[in-house]
Structure 1
Amino acid sequence: MFFASDNGGPTHPNVMEALRVANEGYAMAYGADPIMEQVRDDIRRIFEAPAAAVYLIINGTAANSVLLATMAQPWQTIFCSDCAHIHEDECNAPEFYTQAKLTLVQTENGKMSADALHAKITAEENRGVHGPQRGPLSLTQATEKGTLYDVDEINALTAVARGFGLKTHMDGARFANALVALDCAPAEMTWQAGIDTLSFGATKNGAMGVEACVIFDPDLAWEFELRRKRGGHLLSKHRYLSAQMQAYLADGLWLDMARAANARCAQLADGLSGHNAVHVLFDPQANIIFFQMPRAEHQRMLSGGAVYYVMDGDASEGDPDEMLTGRLVTDWSVTKDRVGGFLNLLRG
């Protein structure tokens, strides 16, 4: 009953097979392999963006950091939510690569509002040469709380950024989960809504380790290439990234896996909502649930074989009645029976 993170899920067999096939013989290095040509065409077609620049990188932290470094100057500040992954979980890598700072925008249920963003941007760049200058906006979709920005909300936020002459980056580590939940087209949730660059996640959704950096503004492409190389993230045996992404996209596998993960999350949420000792936080719109229940219940679940993160305290010691927050994340491989086993254990 593993619900700690979709990072812990298995690689899809189709991706493993694609790696086996790619391992035969020789191929040109550094992204010159023929598989990459197909990947580039596939992503441009999926996003209805024939001029988009497409690059692969091995993990999400690098994807976010190199993209933001391409968009931000060292004397600028990047606007992001107060619970953004680039703020809480990337060990200052975005600051390292950009040499810029992060300005945090207050959120509700993991999402910033257009008004809150406008206020934060307005408050910057009013100290002349002595203060940080305004830099890009970064949005996380799905958010770190498992909630989603709908298309109208994305448009509203990017409109605020554009009003100040700023570009927008989207951290799409769980982009597929958000897309199928909103039932919209990739273009609608990205460049048509004002997104300039996208970290298009695959690792959390069935790949072994690959993310696509999709740049809708072609003027940024060459600088990204230079920064990726300088930052040590241009993989020599690139075909193993290309093969993963090729299999991930083939026949809509990426969407099927996201739907499966979301469905199991919905099953979990339904079961949790019927338990008197459990309080579900936020609205689980994709594949992440945050919930609260007494420490004693956490102890019983964890000792019974459930694996998940307790976010705000030591589950093993303390007041048995204290409410602690847990996080459950489903991935493509989670079965109905595994969810049923977790809920049966919860019911005691």
Structure 2
Amino acid sequence: MNFASDNVYGVHPRILAALSEANTGTAPSYGGDDFTRRAEEKLKAIFGCELRAFLVTSGTAANGLALSAITPGFGAIICHAEAHINVDECNSPELFTGGAKLIGLHGAAGKITPALIEKTLKGFIRGEHDPKPKGVSLTNATELGTVYSPAEVKAISEVIRPRGMKLHMDGARFANAVAGLGCSPAELTWKAGVDALSFGATKNGAMMLEAVIFFDLALAEDFAYRRMRGGQLLSKGRYLGAQMVAYLDNDLWLENARRANALAWKLGQGLAAISGIRIPNPVQANEVFAVMPRRLFDGLQAQGVKFYDWMPDSLGGSITADEIFARFVLSFATPEEDVDSFLALAHGMS
């Protein structure tokens, strides 16, 4: 039973089959292939707008390169204090932007608000002695498994747009957010004011695949050079394009996300019914966070169940020395019987 991450599971069979198909014959190099062209056309159809899409291999590369198109080295990007770009990407955004400053805000349930952003922006009073605020980055779904609604995204956009700032969305689990909200991809992005999206696929069934999508086409002007300099222009780009085409065909991306989300909701409900466990945040995507007795956590780990003791500061509330703030992540490939077996085991040990 492995609930450590959605990265621990493999590649969806339909994506593997697409890679096998792409492996026959020859194709132009460096993204000049038909698979890559079809992938961008499919993304335009899914989002219902004109856009530019650049395929890359990792979310870290997607985020860092996307932010480099938004801010110069003297700029600042506002994000949540626990955003992946701030705590999990080893200064990659700073590297790709040439030194831009990330300003992390401590918002409840993994989210930042217009009020938090406005308060922060009021502190920029030193002119060129401060970095210049150039953008905001939202993670959707968030690091705590919650989601920003289209209205929440739009409210943040309306705060920063008059200041000439751009809005980036880290969508490593974008499919889970869309599936959880039941909205359209357009409603959650460009219609709400998002300028650039890191569109994730790796956590949701791909082998290694993300896309940097620009709804503000001006941001894409020199991005081909940024991607090349960042070592993310693959000579055999057809293997990225083939993955993306298969990922989007017949809404596989949403099918996978709905299954992962449904398993998370089932796990969350089951955990909430166990004495001594509480679920502090709503389960809105494919992650479940639970406060549980330390003895139960240790006992489950001893039985070989894999899940994380998460950062207690993320909770933003009281947690005793005898408790653990635990994270569970569900995948499209998580066996449902693993959820059932885990809940039965936890019930028996509680």
Q: Is the structural similarity TM-score above 0.5?
A: yes
| SS of match in other structure, 2:109 | coil
Q: Which residue of 2 aligns with 1:254?
A: 253
| SS of match in other structure, 2:108 | coil
- Distance in 1 between residues matched to 2:80 and 2:138, nearest whole Å: 7
Q: Which residue of 1 aligns with 2:315?
A: none
Q: Which residue of 1 aligns with 2:25?
A: 25
Alignment of structure 1 residues 29-48 onto 2, 5 Å: 29-48=29-48
- Distance in 2 between residues matched to 1:213 and 1:133, nearest whole Å: 23
Alignment of structure 1 residues 1-348 onto 2, 5 Å: 1-49=1-49, 51-98=50-97, 99-124=99-124, 126-312=125-311, 322-348=322-348
- Distance in 2 between residues matched to 1:8 and 1:249, nearest whole Å: 22
| SS of match in other structure, 2:43 | helix
CA contact (8 A) 1:15 1:207 kept: yes
Partner amino acid, structure 2, of 1:100: A
Partner amino acid, structure 2, of 1:155: K
Cα distance, 1:179 vs structure 2 = 0.2
Cα distance, 1:123 vs structure 2 = 1.4
Q: Which residue of 2 aligns with 1:317?
A: none
| SS of match in other structure, 2:122 | helix
Cα distance, 1:175 vs structure 2 = 0.3
- Distance in 2 between residues matched to 1:103 and 1:298, nearest whole Å: 34
Deviations 1:13-55 (A, max 9, x none): 0000000110111111110011111111000000001x20011
Partner amino acid, structure 1, of 2:20: R
CA contact (8 A) 1:294 1:321 kept: no
Question: Which has the higher mean CA deviation after the structures are superposed, 275-284 or 178-187?
Answer: 275-284
Q: Gapped runs of 5+ residues in structure 1?
A: 314-319
- Distance in 1 between residues matched to 2:293 and 2:274, nearest whole Å: 12
- Distance in 2 between residues matched to 1:21 and 1:81, nearest whole Å: 41
Deviations 1:65-116 (A, max 9, x none): 0000011011111111111110011111001111201111220111111111
Cα distance, 1:122 vs structure 2 = 2.2
Cα distance, 1:296 vs structure 2 = 1.1
- Distance in 1 between residues matched to 2:80 and 2:198, nearest whole Å: 16
The TM-score normalised by the length of structure 2 is 0.95
Q: Which residue of 2 aligns with 1:316?
A: none
- Distance in 1 between residues matched to 2:310 and 2:216, nearest whole Å: 38
Structure 1 runs of 4+ with >3 Å offset: none
Cα distance, 1:251 vs structure 2 = 0.5
Query: Per the alignment, do residues 321 and 275 of structure 1 end up closer, same or farther by CA in structure 2, a change over 3 Å counting?
Result: farther
- Distance in 2 between residues matched to 1:299 and 1:111, nearest whole Å: 30
| SS of match in other structure, 1:39 | helix
| SS of match in other structure, 1:152 | helix
Partner amino acid, structure 1, of 2:40: R
- Distance in 2 between residues matched to 1:258 and 1:43, nearest whole Å: 17
CA contact (8 A) 1:268 1:343 kept: yes
